[in-house]
Amino acid sequence: MAKIDLSGDEIISVDDPANSEDNKPIDDFSSLQGVIKSRFIKAEDSRLFDENRWLRAYRNYRGIYGSDMSFTEKEKSRVFVKITKTKVLAAFGQLIEVLFSSGKFPIGVEPTTIPDVDLYGYPGDGKEMAPGTTTSDLLRGLEDKYKNVNLAEGPSAQSPKNPQIEPAREAAANLEKLISDQLEETAAITVLRHVLFEMVLLGTGVLKGPFTDEKLLHSWDKDLETGESSYNPKIKTVPKLEAVSVWDFYPDPDATTIEDSDYVIQRHSLNRAQLRQLAGRPFFRKDAIAECLKMGANYEVRGFETSLLDRENVDSLQKNRYEIYEYWGTMDRYLAEEAGLEFDDDLEELDEVQINAWVCNGKILRLVFNPFTPDRIPYSICPYEINPYQFFGVGIPENMEDAQMVM
């Protein structure tokens, strides 16, 4: 029987059914929310060295002397020459110029030269080629578009002198237009700019997604008989991207890349209204959210936050916010099932499962299987300069720290 020592004098059995969720304290590491909390603590402790690097980079960028810098009584002038800020903004500007010079999100879709699958579709797409299929059938509607053009089957003998129509290339162009239109509606350029700035400043940018989201489109319909207009909003499914600050990103401390991470945890800071809004999102538990609201704010201010707020001399900083852990990664099947996750017959043999869980105040706000197929953690890590054998990268302020100190 597995047992866990919580406080040195208390032993709780993992197998004991009497230890129900209602009887367990918030820091009980034998429950799913307790395991997530313990993994967060481990990731937070292992990240302290990186936080110190980021703080030095931030201070050099802002031109702020840290608490480690002392002045004598005769030193009246404390000028800070901000060469770090100049270099950071220059590098950031160059990246923006290269990526967004065309004024749109830097993404393109091109047909492959030698396809690995059926040139005209895939098995099960409902468009199998029956005996007697003609060129017109293969062009999938392009025949009508170019009906006044004398088309010949096969590649042009005098290409590129004579133009040729490639259905795969036209399909790729249409897909690129669709993707670009969806990204423009979700402010993807603004999101990516934030990721690039933290990548240059702190050495690592974090991009989350893409997810599917619902966007409300305002629409009015006019009655032709009465001439009156009625409000008729429409819901449109769009992709969603999110820029995650490295200060809120806690990866598996034993991993060096996102691909070999067992889990990552994103820390959220929400006010009451934002926490209440989670109840309207899919698969969130309304009862658990209501209990968290009754329990009150639980946000714990970290040491680096006083520096980011330019309050170096503040010993204690209070924030009326709710601290939520968003967990992505593997979890023991027993703990997930105990927390209410339902398993299908084809998953009965699994010992571990990939889950997404939101935890606040010891309450599980959301618990679902990882929705991606194949399973993956939906974060992309962008280092400015790869730090060998480390998860987080190196930014410009760290590379020129000696030059800044000389100034």
Residue 205 has pLDDT above 90, yes or no: yes
Can you tell me which residue has the tokens 């293969």?
A: 138
Residue 1 has pLDDT above 50, yes or no: no
Q: Residue 150: which pLDDT band, with cuts at 50, 70 and 90?
A: low
User: What's the pLDDT score for residue 207?
Assistant: 95
Radius of gyration of the chain (CA): 28
Average pLDDT for the chain? 81
Q: Which residues sit opposite 353 in a β-bridge?
A: 331
pLDDT in tens, 62-88: 887 766 666 656 666 667 788 899 999
From 128-132, 212-216, 400-404, the region with the lowest mean pLDDT:
128-132
Residue 158 has pLDDT above 70, yes or no: no
Quote the CA–CA distance of 401 and 283 in Å, as a whole number.
Answer: 47
Q: What share of the chain is helix, strand, coil (3-state, %, to 5)?
A: 35, 20, 45
- Which amino acid does the sequence have at 275? L
Can you tell me which residue has the tokens 């100190």?
A: 405
Output the furthest CA–CA distance in the chain (Å, rounded). 95
pLDDT in tens, 221-260: 888 788 888 888 888 888 889 999 999 999 999 999 999 9
Residue 16 has pLDDT above 50, yes or no: no
- Of how many residues is the chain composed? 407
Q: Could you tell me which residue, 385 or 402, shows the higher pLDDT? A: 385
Quote the CA–CA distance of 202 and 243 in Å, as a whole number.
Answer: 14
pLDDT in tens, 95-108: 999 888 877 778 88
Q: Residue 10: which pLDDT band, with cuts at 50, 70 and 90?
A: very low
Q: Angle formed by the axes of helices 48-62 and 32-46, to 10°?
A: 60
User: What's the pLDDT score for residue 149?
Assistant: 64
How much is the pTM? Answer: 0.77
Q: What percent of the chain has pLDDT over 70?
A: 73
Q: Residue 11: which pLDDT band, with cuts at 50, 70 and 90?
A: very low
- Which amino acid does the sequence have at 35? V
Quote the CA–CA distance of 229 and 147 in Å, as a whole number.
Answer: 42
User: What's the pLDDT score for residue 263?
Assistant: 96
Contact 331, 352 (CB under 8 A): yes
Average pLDDT of span 274-292: 93
Quote the CA–CA distance of 163 and 27 in Å, as a whole number.
Answer: 69
Contact 91, 396 (CB under 8 A): yes
CA 201 to chain centre: 19
Q: How far is CA 275 from CA 192, 250, 285, 302, in A?
A: 26, 21, 12, 21
CA quadruple 193, 198, 204, 209: dihedral sign: negative
Q: How far is CA 79 from CA 75, 203, 240, in A?
A: 10, 26, 44
Quote the CA–CA distance of 127 and 137 in Å, as a whole number.
Answer: 10
Burial class (CB in 10 A: 0-12, 13-18, 19+), 57: buried
Q: Residue 173: which pLDDT band, with cuts at 50, 70 and 90?
A: confident
CB burial readout 59-73, b (16+ within 10 A) else e? bbbeeeeeeeeeeee
Structure tokens at 390: 């480390």
Residue 24 has pLDDT above 50, yes or no: no
CA quadruple 8, 14, 20, 25: dihedral sign: positive
pLDDT in tens, 251-272: 999 999 999 999 999 999 999 9
Q: Which residues sit opposite 394 in a β-bridge?
A: 385
CA nearest 243: which of 203, 293, 285, 197? 197
Contact 26, 361 (CB under 8 A): yes
Q: Residue 344: which pLDDT band, with cuts at 50, 70 and 90?
A: confident
Can you tell me which residue has the tokens 């720290």?
A: 401
User: What's the pLDDT score for residue 254?
Assistant: 93
Burial class (CB in 10 A: 0-12, 13-18, 19+), 251: buried
User: What's the pLDDT score for residue 9?
Assistant: 40
pLDDT in tens, 352-366: 899 999 999 999 999
Sorted by sequence, the CB contacts under 8 Å of residue 113 that are 6+ apart come out as none
| Helices assigned H by DSSP within 19-104 | 32-46, 48-62, 83-99
pLDDT in tens, 176-199: 888 888 888 778 888 999 999 999
Q: Residue 315: which pLDDT band, with cuts at 50, 70 and 90?
A: low
Strands lying side by side in the sheet with 234-244 = 234-244, 204-217, 379-383
From 9-13, 37-41, 209-213, 364-368, the region with the lowest mean pLDDT:
9-13
Average pLDDT of span 364-388: 92
Structure tokens at 10: 């208390």
